[in-house]
Amino acid sequence: MSAPVVGFAGLTHLGLVSAIAVASKGFRVIGYDADAARVHDIAAGQLPVVEPDLDELARGVAGRITFTSQPGDLAACDLVYISTDVATDARGESDLSAISALITDVIAALAAPALMVVLCQVPPGFTRRLPLPPERLFYQVETLVFGRAVERATRPERYMVGCADPAKPLPKPFATLLGAFGCPILPMRYESAELAKIAINCCLVASVTVANTLAGLSERIGADWSEIMPALKLDARIGRHAYLAPGLGLAGGNLERDLATITRLAAATGCEASIIAACIANSQHGRDWAVRVLHSEVLSRNADALIGILGLAYKENTHSTKNSPSLALISALAPWRLKLYDPVVPASAATHPRAEGASSALAAVKGADALAIMTPWPAFRDLKPADLARAMAGRTVLDPYRVLDARDVAAAGLDYFTLGAPPYRAKELLHA
Amino acid sequence: MLEHTATGTEPLGGVVVVGAGGFVGNAICTRLAAEKVPHLALTRKDIDLLEPEAATKLQRMLRPGDALVFVSALAPTRNNSMLIDNLRMAETICAAVAAGQLAQLVYISSDAVYADDANPVTERSCQQPSSLHGVMHLAREVMLQTAFKLPLAILRPTLIYGARDPHNGYGPNRFRRLAAKGEAITLFGEGEEMRDHVHIDDVAMLVSAVLHRRSHGALNIATGNSFSFRRVAEMVVALAPQAAEIRGTPRQNPITHRHFDITDCIKAFPQFHYVPLSEGLVHVAKESA
């Protein structure tokens, strides 16, 4: 059999990166999205997502990938991925109406023997209910990580594939496609695969929750969580890739969605799942770390404070602001003046009556009574504490992700606040 | 979490304070008077909520568009009889507000509604009172929520202190009175328990803010900083006109702590700042000198 033609229905973050990754392995790919303007932009090389190495990879596969807004064009495919991002609301609940409509259109367009693979996040039980013969219907766990999407899509650790019968070999086109990536393939029943994605995220959330809890304790008892983390990572039972860096609560939408799904399923089935509620509460507490510190250190004493905020995206190397801790902070600072800067996200992403965008990180800091580095963009690591001290009117620096060196900042005469350690105060350093 | 339904810029209409004769009610009325907010201060002499005709009487006093602040309570609730009486008082309020003329109802509850091991306490912490006093406040909250469908603000202050507090419970008020007389302050154990203490003026200020913003929902009233009872005693003694001994005793009960996460308050009223305990105690010492 010749190499299969692979379709991707839905060209949001997940679909676009996945389509380009498959094309990079030599397959012919057809990318479909009902949004003609989006398709036009993508075909013109204007990608609507920001990911390291994505633009370069897209240019390299230009001859093998075509984009269309006509669902009928998918009839040329041997298998079609349903690959749109599933929107979530403020509570993390998925809105499945768009994906359901997309699936209806794709099934109508599919050639008779073609396969359909659901790639996006759906709740357990979703795939089995779809109106397609089971031998043509699959679910594949997506493992997209914002900011590392190309790396994850081109060099996956493994594939988890949901099937009607995991004991049967995968159909040839699907096996050929997945085999090209040279990683283990784990067939399992539909529900297992759908839950596997959630299980991965729950493990990550549990790990982050433990880290946040102990980092918070470290801040109060004089410990430094950054000194503890390496020791944990050298424990084989925990591992060097464990999610142990403290953060400002869960963000991005996917983890929150999975917690909402487990909460709903556990309630419906009577399963004990209080750990999930604890993780959600911990996340809410963590998200507000910066507003608590700012209030305690600056806002309670300065009614007209100017706050410089660096970073609006929910994490580095992405344009996404879904559940961004930075935007949450900004919404809690309504009475104060703000200057905002993000290398990718425009200041207009934040709705605030007294916020203005700045042209650079240093411009956002100029005259500020406090600085909060809310997204650990690599470029912010180049900021010199002495430059910050000269530019700022106040002395308070919040750097939850340790973009800057705490001692350097304190040595520059600034008070430095981070997650997982007590404050580094300039005065204390002087007297040390 | 509180939600506001008014900007706070409009002048406040009438406010009726039921329980104005008590420590908290009086402070609220003093605050409203200072702000020139038209208000009706009702003490037990004006209306006894346990009287059979109290609901009708109160209903006649309420004008459409008024806000009602319900502070009255037989506190602390030490026995079943007090519990029942407190619930009957709430029943009267429920009956009086059922006509639906009010613009807002503000209930002064207590942090006693929370489980003892809820740390740090937020407005979403488990409400599982271990005392009759906590049960009373939680039952009243539910009664009011059921009876009143318009903006209902439930405020849950932690331990309140102030010069005029008639209560003599374990904490700053009792310590101050003992120290003033040069008598020893006796701690439970070594006074290790950490508690949050809020100044009465902050309670009154937040009640006023909630009225101005026509807020609804729940809000804890606590500073976010907890101190051990020994530390509180030391601070009080340092401000006393004469030396007083601080004396530990053999511990009878396990140590429990209470801390608050006050993020909801910061978000609801970003420009409100609690008086730190050290400053509040100085204020009280001057006022009571």
User: Which pLDDT tens digit goes with each residue over A165-193?
Assistant: 999 999 999 999 999 999 999 999 999 99
Tokens of B150: 């318009």
Q: Which CATH superfamily is domain A198-285 in?
A: N-(1-d-carboxylethyl)-l-norvaline Dehydrogenase; domain 2 (1.10.1040.10)
Q: Is A134 helix (H, G, I), strand (E, B) or coil?
A: helix
Tens of pLDDT, residue by residue over A275-326, are 999 999 999 999 999 999 999 999 998 999 999 999 999 999 888 898 899 9
Evaluate whether residue B24 is within a structural domain: yes
Phi, psi (degrees; rounded to nearest 5) at A308:
-90, 130
Nearest chain B CA: its distance from A332 CA (Å): 6
- Among candidates A285, A300, A336 on the partner chain, residue whose Cβ is nearest the Cβ of B261: A285
* Cross-chain residue pair A295–B270, CB shorter than 8 Å: yes
Tokens of A226: 């950054």
Mean pLDDT across B24-37: 97
Is the model's pLDDT at A432 over the cut of 70? no
CB contact, 8 Å: A217 with chain B? no
Largest CA distance in chain A: 78
CA atoms lying within 13 Å on the CB side of residue A375? 32
- 3-state DSSP percent of chain B in helix, strand and coil, to 5: 35, 15, 45
Nearest C-alpha neighbor of B175 from the set B99, B247, B86, B69: B247
Measured CA to CA, the distance from residue A156 to residue A151 in angstroms comes to: 8
Mutate to test the interface with B, among A280, A283, A287, A288 (most CBs of B within 10 A): A288
pLDDT for residue A1 is more than 60 = no
pLDDT band at A16 (very low <50, low <70, confident <90, very high): very high
Domain count, chain B: 1
Q: Which among B122, B124, B263 is the nearest to A292, CB-wise?
A: B263
What are the chain A neighbours of B121 within 8 Å (beta carbons)? none
Question: What is the domain partition of chain A in residue ranges?
Answer: 5-190, 198-285, 288-431
Q: Determine contact, residues B114/B123, Cβ cutoff 8 Å.
A: no
CB pairs under 8 A between A and B: 26
Average pLDDT, chain B: 95
Rounded-to-integer distance, Cα B107 and Cα B99, Å: 18
Q: In chain A, what residues touch B259 (CB-CB under 8 Å)?
A: none
Residue A424, CA distances (Å) to A214, A227, A302, A399, A415 in order: 18, 15, 21, 11, 6
Task: Choose from B9, B261, B263 for mutation: most chain A CBs within 10 A.
Answer: B263
Which of B50, B75, B17, B1 shows the shortest CA–CA distance to B211? B17
Which chain B residues have a beta carbon less than 8 Å from that of A303? 271
Shortest distance, CA B273 to any CA of chain A (angstroms): 6
Task: Among A281, A285, A291, select the one facing B266 at the smallest CB separation.
Answer: A291
Task: Look at the block and give the residue holding tokens 């142990």.
Answer: A244
Per the domain annotation, does B97 fall within a domain?
Answer: yes
Confidence at A119, pLDDT banded by 50, 70, 90? very high
Residue B141 covered by a domain: yes
Encoded tokens for B213:
């913003």
Contact flag B267-A291 (C-beta cutoff 8 Å): yes
For A149, the token pair is: 């999407």
What is the C-alpha separation between B211 and B104, in angstroms, rounded? 8
Burial zone of B279 (CB within 10 Å; 0-12 exposed, 13-18 middle, 19+ buried): exposed
In chain B, what residues touch A299 (CB-CB under 8 Å)?
270
The answer to whether A292 contacts chain B (CB < 8 Å) is yes
Q: How distant is the Cα of B230 from the closest Cα of chain A, in angstroms?
A: 20
Mean pLDDT, to the nearest integer, of B65-81?
95
Specify the DSSP class assigned to residue A296.
I
Over range A113-124, report the average pLDDT.
95
Two tokens at B249? 């005793």
pLDDT band at A429 (very low <50, low <70, confident <90, very high): low
Taking the C-alpha atoms of residue B218 and residue B7, their distance in angstroms, rounded to an integer, is: 18
> Do residues A182 and A157 make contact, with C-beta atoms less than 8 angstroms apart?
no
* B214, part of any domain: yes
Sign of the alpha-carbon torsion through A219, B264, B160, B144: negative
What gap in Å lies between CA B96 and CA B56, rounded to an integer?
6
Which residue intervals of A97-189 are DSSP H helices? Answer: 97-109, 149-154, 172-179
Give the integer Cα–Cα distance in Å for B213 and B5.
6
Q: What is the CATH number of the domain that holds B207?
A: 3.40.50.720
Q: Per-residue pLDDT for A430 more than 70?
A: no
Partner residue facing B266 (CB), from A292, A303, A336: A292
Q: Which domain holds residue B89?
A: 15-160+199-224+261-273
Contacts of A265 (CB under 8 A, 6+ apart): A123, A124, A271
Tell me if B263 and A291 make a contact (CB, 8 A cut-off): yes
Q: Give the type of residue at A99.
A: I
Superfamily assignment of A5-190 in CATH?
NAD(P)-binding Rossmann-like Domain (3.40.50.720)
- Per-residue pLDDT of B122-163, as tens digits, reads 999 999 999 999 999 999 999 999 999 889 999 999 999 999
Q: Among A281, A291, A303, whose Cβ lies nearest the Cβ of B271? A: A303
Q: How many percent of chain B have pLDDT more than 70?
A: 100
From the CB of residue A90, how many other CB atoms can be counted at a distance below 10 Å?
Answer: 7
Check residues A93 and B146 and name the one with the higher pLDDT: B146
Could you give the CA distance from residue B33 to residue A361 in angstroms, rounded to a whole number? 48
What does the pLDDT read at residue A253? 81
Instruction: State the amino acid at position A78 in one-letter form.
Output: D
Mutate to test the interface with A, among B194, B213, B273 (most CBs of A within 10 A): B273
Does the beta carbon of A285 lie under 8 angstroms from any beta carbon of chain B? yes
- pLDDT score of A91 more than 90: no
> Given an 8 Å threshold on Cβ–Cβ distance, is A332 in contact with B271?
no
CB of B272 within 8 Å of any CB in chain A?
no
What is the spatial distance between Cα B102 and Cα B62, in angstroms, rounded to a whole number? 8
pLDDT by residue (tens digit) across A337-353?
999 999 999 999 999 99
H helical segments located in A81-171: 97-109, 149-154
* Interchain pair A299, B270: CB under 8 A: yes
For the beta sheet containing B226-228, the strands, ordered from the edge strand earlier in sequence to the opposite edge, are B159-161, B194-199, B226-228
For chain B, say whether A232 makes contact (Cβ under 8 Å). no
Contacts of B7 in chain A (CB under 8 A): none
A249 DSSP 8-state letter:
S
Q: Which letter does DSSP use for residue A248 in this model?
A: S
The predicted structure's pLDDT at residue A86: 86
Strand order in the sheet with A306-310: A355-357, A337-341, A306-310, A370-373, A396-398, A415-417
Of A200, A123, A121, A118, the residue nearest A162 (C-alpha) = A118
Rounded mean pLDDT, B25-53: 97
Q: Is A334 on the interface with B (CB under 8 A)?
A: yes
Q: Is residue B243 part of a domain?
A: no
Give the Cβ contact number of residue B242 at 10 Å. 10
Q: Are B186 and B249 in contact (CB under 8 A)?
A: yes
CB B210 within 8 A of CB B203: no
Pairing of strands A370-373, B15-18: unpaired
Cis? peptide before B120, omega within 30° of 0: yes
A198-285 and A288-431: identical CATH topology: no
Answer whether residue A53 shows pLDDT above 90: yes
The CA distance from A306 to the nearest CA of chain B, in Å, is 14
pLDDT at B10: 87
Q: Which helix (H) or strand (E) holds A204?
A: helix A190-221
Q: CA–CA separation, A425 vs B5, rounded Å?
A: 41
A169: cis peptide before it, omega within 30°? no
Mark yes or no for CB contact A285/B263 under 8 Å: yes
Is B88 in CB contact (< 8 Å) with chain A? no
Using CA atoms, how far residue A14 sits from A50, A97, A204, A244, B185, in Å, is 12, 18, 20, 26, 66
Q: What is the rounded average pLDDT of the residues B181-203?
A: 96
DSSP label of A295: I
Contact B273 A285 (CB under 8 A): no
Q: How confident is the model at residue A2 (pLDDT cuts 50, 70, 90)?
A: confident
In terms of pLDDT, which residue wins out, B169 or B30?
B30
The answer to whether B251 faces chain A, any CB pair under 8 Å, is no
Contact A288 B271 (CB under 8 A): no
User: pTM for the full model?
Assistant: 0.86
The overall average pLDDT reported for chain A is 94
Length of chain A: 432
Structure tokens at A132: 């397609």
Tokens of A416: 């430095």
Q: Does residue A431 have a pLDDT over 60?
A: no
- Candidates A281, A288, A332; nearest CB to B270: A332
* Chain A touched by B164 (CB under 8 Å): no
pLDDT of residue A251: 85
Q: How many CB atoms lie within 10 A of CB A135?
A: 13
Residue pair B203/B111 in contact (Cβ under 8 Å)? The answer is: no
Distances (CA, A) of B147 to A91, B92, B127, B151: 28, 11, 20, 12
Distance CA(A383)–CA(A320), nearest Å, equals 23
DSSP H helical segments within A24-120, as ranges? 36-43, 54-60, 97-109
Pairing mode, strands A370-373 and A396-398: parallel
* Among the listed residues B263, B288, B271, the one whose alpha carbon sits nearest the alpha carbon of residue B124: B263
The domain made up of A288-431 is a member of CATH 3.30.70.260: no
Of B124, B263, B270, the CB nearest to A288: B263
CA angle A37, A41, A47 (to 5 degrees): 125
Pairing mode, if any, of strands A306-310 and A185-189? unpaired
